[in-house]
Amino acid sequence: MTVDPNAATQGFPSPKPARGGPHPARYLVPALVAAAVAVALGVYGKVHDPAGTAFNLAGFSSTGAVKSWLATVSLFFALVQLMSALMLYGKLPGPRWSSTLHRWSGRVAFLVAVPVAVHCLYALGYQTYESRVFWHSLLGCFFFGAFSAKMLLLRWERLPGWMLPLVGGLVFTALTLIWLTSAFWFFSTFGVTT
Amino acid sequence: MKRSGPLLTLLAGLLLGLFMLSLNATTGTKTASSTYQDEPSPSPTPKRTVTSPAPTPTRSPSRTPIPNADYAGRTDDDSAAVAVTLRDGKAIAYFCDGRDKESWLKGDVRDDGSMRLTGKGDAELNGTLKAGKRIRGTVDIGGGHYAFTADKAKKPSGLYRATAAVRGAKIDGGWIVLRDGTQVGILTRDGEPSPAPRIDPETGVVTVDGQQLTARPVTP
């Protein structure tokens, strides 16, 4: 599959169709949904008056600890995602059930991340008072947009071969950066506590 | 030809998110209300008009009063934190760098939202309340000049203080809990400042030199 080098200026995702692929306008749908999700989350986080507190789980000292551990679980399954994706693309030897592994590790990673995001948006909001917080807010919104795009792209077969690795890689990179700017920061500031 | 698995995944995430949101909105103690009225903040210390034998009626009740609220934030250079608590036209503020520089400041809030608070050693805070959402101002302390922005704080973020005697030493601790959960605090033992241990922001419990104390929200 060849990539038109001029397509790069078209932005993300590049709407240049592969030969025989779906109509380029179809890529607009995931892109627009992704943008809408990201902007909607950001606007909610900005407009909603942060409540400061929300649910907590028994056995944890603070919501920060709960979220950090949930985020770490999510990142773990994201790493499984990366591995199983490499298996699917034949870059790593993998079992026959690696596609099932990829699907379900992705679902778990996503569903575990949702409560964390809800708490972030409900209790803390979209904040920009520090560069760490700013990047975390921005990437958090971006992540759920990019993930929505990834899910919608999966619905079409005959995508350009680079499309899913690119979008999946974006999702993975975003989640990693989100974890570094939150859970990693939390653990290194307050210690690895529960 | 279309696979529905990914859509179901997205749907499940959406439903889970909405479910958690509704759980928060219903179980949260009125925190979900979007109105910016001053909430009857359940501070354990009852409101007292401290040492004001002749309360001068500077504000007529017909004017819109300054809402009771808590504000917390950082200095522009990020070296220290500032928290301000407003109650009934009076303000108490705490400036703290988390190491050795701190000051408690007190004063009145004027009807236009401006305030000039003073503390020990010629410490001074000049600030203005902007639309009830944040206080922007400056603190002058010990020859330093700090600009700060303090956003409206919701529990458990805010200003806490604990005073006690532990093994003969007079303990005075001040904490600013910021919105993201970080704490800036100083513990003074017999006038000797040092970084404060963390308080549990939900309960205010803190362990100082092996003894458990409770830090309480500060009111003017």
Question: For the packed helices B5-27 and A131-153, what is the interaxial angle rounded to 10 degrees?
Answer: 140
Alpha carbon B21 to its chain centroid, in Å, reads 25
Hey, of B20, B151, B176, which one would you mutate to test binding to chain A, going by the most A CBs within 10 A of its CB? B20
Where are chain A's structural domains? 24-190
ipTM of the complex: 0.76
Cα(B103)–Cα(B138) distance, rounded to whole angstroms? 13
* Backbone phi and psi for residue B70, each to the nearest 5 degrees, phi listed first: -115, 145
Q: Which domains does chain B have, with CATH numbers?
A: 69-153 (2.40.128.120), 158-217 (no CATH)
Given a cut of 70, the residues of chain B with pLDDT beneath it are 1-2, 27-64
Instruction: List residues in chain A touching B: CB distance below 8 A.
Output: 48-55, 61-64, 103, 106-107, 110-111, 114-115, 117-119, 122-124, 127, 129-130, 133, 147-148, 150-152, 154-157, 189-190
- Strand order from edge to edge, sheet including B158-166: B192-195, B183-189, B169-177, B158-166, B216-217
Per-residue 3-state assignment (H helix, E strand, C coil) for B14-43: HHHHHHHHHHHHHHCCCCCCCCCCCCCCCC
Q: What pLDDT is attached to residue B46?
A: 41
Name the residue among A51, A63, A151 with its Cβ closest to that of B32. A51
Cα(B20)–Cα(B18) distance, rounded to whole angstroms? 5
Name the residue among B10, B24, B151 with its Cβ closest to that of A151. B10
> Which DSSP state fits A8?
G
Bridging pattern class, strands B169-177 and B158-166: antiparallel
User: Which positions in chain A touch B2 (Cβ < 8 Å)?
Assistant: 155-156
Q: Is B205 on the interface with A (CB under 8 A)?
A: no
Reading chain A (194 residues) residue by residue, the pLDDT tens digits are: 454 544 444 444 444 444 445 567 777 888 899 999 999 999 988 888 776 655 566 566 677 788 899 999 999 999 999 999 999 888 888 888 888 999 999 999 999 999 899 888 887 888 887 788 899 999 999 999 999 999 988 887 777 888 889 999 999 999 999 999 999 988 887 778 77
Are A149 and A13 within 8 A, CB to CB?
yes
Place of tokens 């958690």: B20
Q: Is the dihedral of CA A46, A49, A53, A54 positive or negative?
A: negative
